[in-house]
Amino acid sequence: MKTNTNRLFFIDAMRAWAILMMLQGHFVDGLLDPIFRDNGNPIFSTWLYFRGITAPVFFTVSGFIFTYLLIRMPQPGMENPRVKKGVRRGFQLLLIGYLLRMNLFGLLSGQIYDSFYVVDVLHCIGLSILAIIGIYVFSTNKSKFVFPAIMLGVTLLLFLFEPIYKQWSFSFLPTAIANYFTKVNGSVFTIVPWLGYATMGGFLSILFTKYKDSKFLYPTAIAMALTLGTSLVFYSSKGFIWLYNTTAINLFQMIEQNNYLFIRLGDVFLVFAVFMLLRKLMTNSTILKIGASTLTIYVIHFVILYGSFTGVGLYRFFDHSLIPGVIIPGAIAFMFICTFLSLKYKEHEPELKVQVQHVFLKGKAQGIELYKTTVPILKEVSMKVRLFLIRVLRLAKN
C-alpha cells in the first residue's frame, strides 16, 4: 500500500477481523456448556484471552476511522460536513441499540422489559462518536495541539481513575441513564471507560494523518506499536507497583490489582502492529466489504443469536448447553451465515431503499387522498350531529 493513499486498508481489515472475532465470541460464550469452561485448558484460556481483545480493538478502530474521516475534511468546526453526518450516525447507533433490545410481544402487551434499558456496544460507540465531535468542535479555534491532547487526556483520565468511579452506583440517576455508567443493572458496556479506547483511536488517526506522506510512516508506526504494546502488556503492572512504592498513592495499587485497561490497550497496539506489517495482504475485496459492513453484521447476529424483536433466537434454545464438537463448527457456520446475509443485504441495499421509499411515498399519497376524501364527509356528519343536538336540547328546554 502506498503511504499517500487516502484509504488505510489495514484498518478495514482490522475491523473485519474484530467483527468476526465478536461473532464467534458471542456464539461460544452464549452457547458453550459451563462444564467445558476450564481456564486450565490451554485451548480455552487462549480463546478467552483473544476474545477479550475484540472489544478494545473494535472501539479503537471505530474511533480511528471516524476521526480520520472527520479531520480529512478541509472545512473547520461546524462547517465540516462530517460533523452533521457524525451526529446523525451517533444517534442512529443509539436508536438501533435500543431497537435490538426491544421485544415486540412485550410491547404489544404494554410491557417494556428491563433489558431494553441495558447499554451495549452500539450505545457506547454512538456516544463515543458524539463525544469526539464535541471535542473536535470545542478545539476548532484553538491551537492544533488541543484536539489530540484532549483525546489522549480523556483516555488517560478514564483508564487511570477507573478503580474509583467503578465503585459508584450512580443510583441518583434514572436507571436508563445510570446504565451508561454502571454495570449493576446488567449493562454489557459502559461509556466509561470504553470511550477511552475510541479517543485513543482518534488520537492515533491524528498522528497518521499528520505523517501520512512520510516514507518512514509504517516502519516507525510498527516499531512504536510493538514497543508500546509489549511494554503495556508485560510491564505496565510492574510500573504501577513501582509508582505506588515511590509515591504511596493508593490509586496506583488499585490499578495494578485489576490492570485490564492498560494491558488490553497494549494488545490493541500489538494488533495494530501485526495488521500494519501485513498491510499489503489486506486488499482483498471481500475482507474490505466485511470491514465496511460491521453494523449490518452486528444487527443480523443479534437477531439470530439473541432473538431481537421476537425473543426467539439460538440463545433461547441452546443457552449454555452445547459441547465443543458442536460449538466449533457452529461458530464457523454462524460467522459465515451472518457475513453472507450482510453482504447480500449490502449488495441489494440500493434496491431495497428504493422499494422502501416507494412504499412510503405510496402510503403517504394514499393517506393524503384518504384525508381529502374523508374530511368533507366528516364535516357533513359533524354538521348533522350538531343540528340534531340543537333540536334535542331545544325540545328538552321546552
CA angle (388 as vertex; 387, 393 as ends), nearest 5: 100
Kindly report, residue by residue over 34-50, the tens digit of the pLDDT: 999 998 999 999 999 99
Question: 322: which strand partners?
Answer: 32
Instruction: Decide if pLDDT at 293 tops 80.
Output: yes
For residue range 179-227, list pLDDT tens digits in order: 999 998 889 899 999 999 999 999 999 999 999 888 899 999 999 999 9
Q: Which three cell numbers stand for residue 334?
A: 454462524
What whole-number distance in Å separates Cα of residue 381 and Cα of residue 86? 50
Which residue blocks in 292-323 are alpha helix, DSSP H? 294-306, 314-318
Q: How far apart, in Å, are the Cα atoms of 349 and each of 16, 206, 334, 346? A: 19, 32, 22, 5
Per-residue model confidence (pLDDT) at position 135:
97
| Domain layout of the chain by residue ranges | 9-349
Q: Which residues pair with 103 in a beta bridge?
A: 309
Asked if pLDDT for residue 100 goes beyond 50, the answer is: yes
**Taking each helix axis from N to C terminus, what angle separates 250-257 and 217-247, rounded to the nearest 10 degrees?**
120
> Which run of H or of E encompasses 61?
helix 42-72
For residue 67, is pLDDT > 80? yes
Across 230-250, average pLDDT = 96
Give the chain's end-to-end CA distance (angstroms, integer).
Answer: 96
Per-residue pLDDT, 232: 97
Cis status, amide bond into 42, omega within 30 of 0: no
pLDDT attached to residue 64: 97
The residue type found at 116 is: F
**Is the confidence at residue 178, as pLDDT, over 60?**
yes
Report the alpha-carbon distance of residue 54 to residue 22 in Å, rounded.
Answer: 6
Percent of the chain with pLDDT over 90: 70
Confidence of residue 2 (pLDDT cuts 50, 70, 90): very low
